[in-house]
């Protein structure tokens, strides 16, 4: 099978390409990626000599570039490419509309033109909004959309376009809405790698607000196996939610776990100004488990241990991105003070 992976040089996409080719070595993957700040070509360097892997630099908003790859015999699209960072969407919302909405539309239209190619869309639990503090609610496929940030609004819009192409044009689509991923090849702008790399550098760990917000952490390889399950066994037209844990973790609990695993104490925590419209997430993955038999393999501690070890051993991979990430946070803090 020939697969078009968009955004394959980012965090989850690069993990997915490694995962897929290790399990389906006879398949071919084209990685179509613009190489924004979030990409790191080093993540896929080991595949450069693999004849089943091809990299094409391009923008998913560019119709002719998209048509050109789509017409090369692609049988499945796995669409990761997006602007993915909530804090950046507060800084520059229009970029999120362009990439996440127009880019997704451009891909859908091209998949339709080239023979209704199977299209799997990677989305987020953030489209469902926020869970109240103290509530036991979990997002599920039935939860109404209620996005809070420009990022989640753009992803919600892209989900609607994907479904509309299924209903209106018969495009064979599936969607997965997953919770927060963590693992290797994750840009140090995001919370867990920011925390690990700060600790390695002997710096404090910034925690937004009081650290009470909660997430449902999903180890990236578990996410990849869930996508594989839906691609292979999912029902066309359906959405599947993917979560990682049986219970959520507050940010402060997460920070304490990481500090403990890295042999540091809580004096390294620094509480900083909260993010506007700061959500909470928890996801029920009952449908994916009951209908398709998927379940996550990692616990939060086992996943964190693997991830910490990877960052300790791969400073060359993250050092430059870390410098850029901290420069971004300085700009963001300065713009919030204006």
User: Which one of the listed residues 33, 59, 83, 126 is annotated catalytic?
Assistant: 126
3-state secondary structure the chain: CEEEEECCCCHHHHHHHHHHHHHCCCCEEEEEECCCCCCCHHHHHHHCCCCCEEEEECCCCCHHHHHHHHCCCCCEEEECCCCCCHHHHHHCHHHHHHHHHHHHHHHHHHHHHCCCCEEEEEEEHHHHCCCCCCCCCCECCCCCCCCCCHHHHHHHHHHHHHHHHHHHHCCCEEEEEECCEECCCCCCCCHHHHHHHHHHCCCCEEEECCCCCEECCEEHHHHHHHHHHHHHHCCCCCEEEECCCCCCEEHHHHHHHHHHHCCCCHHHEEEECCCCCCCCCCECCHHHHHHHCCCCCCCHHHHHHHHHHHHHHCHHHHHHHHHHHHHHHHHHHHHHHC
Residue ranges in 7-66 that form contacts with ligand DAU under rule CB under 6 A: none
The answer to whether 121 contacts ligand DAU (rule: CB under 6 A) is no
- Chain-centroid distance of CA 80 in Å reads 7
* Closest chain position to ligand NAD (CB): 10
User: Which one of the listed residues 105, 151, 185, 311 is annotated catalytic?
Assistant: 151
Question: Known catalytic residue: 326?
Answer: no
Residue ranges in 68-107 that form contacts with ligand NAD under rule CB under 6 A: 80-84, 99, 103
Measured from the CB atom, the residue of 291 and 326 that comes closer to ligand DAU is: 326
Q: What does the alpha-carbon distance between residue 5 and residue 81 come to, in Å, rounded to a whole number? A: 8
User: Which one of the listed residues 59, 83, 125, 216 is annotated catalytic?
Assistant: 125
The answer to whether 181 contacts ligand NAD (rule: CB under 6 A) is yes
215 binds, among ligand NAD, ligand DAU, none (CB under 5 to 8 A by kind): ligand DAU
- Cβ 81 to ligand NAD shortest distance, Å: 4
In the set 5, 21, 178, 308, which binds ligand NAD (CB under 6 A)? 178
Q: Which long-range contacts (CB under 8 A, 24 or more apart) does 329-332 make?
A: 329/87, 329/189, 329/206, 331/91, 332/87, 332/90, 332/91
Residue ranges in 52-71 that form contacts with ligand NAD under rule CB under 6 A: 59-61
In the set 3, 4, 5, 11, which binds ligand NAD (CB under 6 A)? 11
Residue ranges in 104-143 that form contacts with ligand NAD under rule CB under 6 A: 122, 124
36 binds, among ligand DAU, ligand NAD, none (CB under 5 to 8 A by kind): ligand NAD
Q: What does the alpha-carbon distance between residue 110 and residue 171 come to, in Å, rounded to a whole number? A: 11
Q: What string marks each residue from 194 to 213 as x (binds ligand DAU by CB under 6 A) or -?
A: x-----------xxx----x
The answer to whether 93 contacts ligand DAU (rule: CB under 6 A) is no
307 binds, among ligand DAU, ligand NAD, none (CB under 5 to 8 A by kind): none
Measured from the CB atom, the residue of 181 and 198 that comes closer to ligand NAD is: 181
217 binds, among ligand DAU, ligand NAD, none (CB under 5 to 8 A by kind): none
Question: Known catalytic residue: 125?
Answer: yes
Measured from the CB atom, the residue of 85 and 118 that comes closer to ligand NAD is: 85
Question: Known catalytic residue: 126?
Answer: yes
Q: Which residues are catalytic?
A: 125-126, 151
What are the residues binding ligand NAD (CB under 6 A)?
A: 6-7, 9-13, 33-36, 38-39, 59-61, 80-84, 99, 103, 122, 124, 155, 178, 180-181, 187
């Amino acid at each position: 099978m020939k697969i078009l992976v968009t955004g394959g040089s980012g965090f989850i996409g690069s993990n997915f390409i490694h995962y897929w080719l290790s399990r389906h070595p006879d398949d071919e993957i084209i990685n179509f990626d613009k190489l924004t700040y979030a990409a790191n070509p080093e993540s896929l360097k080991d595949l450069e000599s693999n004849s089943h892997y091809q990299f094409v630099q391009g923008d998913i908003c560019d119709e002719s570039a998209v048509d050109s790859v789509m017409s090369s015999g692609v049988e499945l699209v796995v669409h990761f490419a997006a602007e993915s960072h909530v804090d950046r969407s507060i800084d520059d919302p229009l970029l999120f509309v362009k990439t996440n909405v127009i880019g997704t539309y451009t891909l859908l239209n091209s998949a339709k033109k080239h023979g209704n190619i199977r299209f799997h869309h990677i989305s987020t639990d953030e489209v469902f909004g926020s869970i109240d503090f103290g509530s036991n609610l979990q997002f599920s496929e039935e939860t109404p959309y209620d996005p809070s940030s420009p990022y989640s609004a753009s992803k919600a819009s892209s989900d609607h376009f994907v479904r509309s192409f299924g209903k209106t044009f018969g495009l064979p689509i599936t969607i997965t809405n997953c919770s927060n991923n963590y693992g290797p090849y994750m840009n140090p702008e995001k919370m867990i790698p920011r925390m690990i790399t700060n600790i390695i550098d002997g710096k404090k760990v910034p925690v937004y607000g009081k650290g009470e917000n909660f997430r449902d952490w999903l180890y990236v390889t578990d996410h990849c196996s869930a996508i594989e399950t839906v691609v292979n066994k999912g029902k066309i037209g359906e959405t599947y939610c993917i979560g990682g844990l049986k219970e959520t973790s507050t940010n402060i609990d997460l920070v304490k776990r990481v500090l403990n695993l890295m042999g540091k104490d809580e004096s390294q925590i620094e509480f900083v100004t909260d993010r506007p419209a700061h959500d909470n997430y928890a996801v029920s993955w009952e449908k994916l488990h009951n209908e398709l038999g998927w379940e996550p393999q990692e616990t939060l501690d086992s996943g964190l241990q693997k991830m910490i070890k990877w960052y300790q051993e791969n400073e060359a991979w993250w050092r430059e991105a870390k410098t850029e990430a901290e420069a971004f946070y300085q700009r963001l803090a300065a713009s919030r003070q204006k």
